[in-house]
Structure 1
């Protein structure tokens, strides 16, 4: 039985502001449905992604901005950083973890710049949406076996 990740709910305070932000990243609008004054759902998909995000009115009970560690994957983290900055996003510099492995929570072990050998899975950048939902962008150039 395949279990495919299709949609992630993200909590936002202002649906229109969030929609404008994510569309400004170049994400495709898949849906914007309203069934009355107390329910609206918006779905957007990042370029090249099989998974989408949804947000809206009464879509989730989570506090706006409480989603952390949302991950996007790119094949060139420096180009991704330039693209996001060109779109007006307040984006971190490229970083890697001091241990040389996957990033840790917080910023204490972040080292400026991509991983020294540009090892796949080890270089990152971060940004937040207008509500504070936290995104990481990870560089993956060679996938692990089975991926």
Structure 2
């Protein structure tokens, strides 16, 4: 079986700049912020220590903003991560200890 890894998760958002500010305030690395023709814009951010990234922007997806179901981040320090989460709002990030996340095989 080939070695496969999750690389990108697309998040539909209503306010691109607000989403970018939220995730960068969490310490996520900005990998890209590219504008394009006709209002197109793509932003890619990566959580510290993660091999996977999220992308969002304008013209990226037709999905309803806030409709992403299931994205979660794991942390070895969930209480510290939760306390560092800036403000409430539509961009809630669920943080679970790694031990609470089970794989399909076990």
TM-score of the pair, normalised by structure 2: 0.83
- Provide the rounded CA distance (Å) in 1 between the counterparts of 2:18 and 2:63: 18
Partner secondary structure for residue 19 of structure 1: helix
Partner of 1:135: 93
Q: Which has the higher contact order (CA 8 A, sep 6+)?
A: 2
Answer yes or no: is the 8 Å Cα contact 1:9–1:54 preserved in 2. Answer: yes
Shift of 1:83: 2.0
Q: Give 5+ residue unaligned stretches, structure 1.
A: 91-126
TM-score of the pair, normalised by structure 1: 0.62
**Structure number with higher strand proportion:** 1
Partner secondary structure for residue 135 of structure 1: coil
Q: How many residues align?
A: 104
Partner of 1:39: 40
**Superposition map of 1:39-78 within 5 A:** 39-78=40-79
Answer yes or no: is the 8 Å Cα contact 1:128–1:135 preserved in 2. Answer: no
| Distance change (3 Å), C-alpha of 1:68 and 1:128 | farther
Q: Give 5+ residue unaligned stretches, structure 2.
A: none
Runs of 4+ in 1 over 4 A off after TM superposition: 141-144
Larger radius of gyration: 1
**Structure number with higher helix proportion:** 2
- Provide the rounded CA distance (Å) in 2 between the counterparts of 1:143 and 1:65: 22
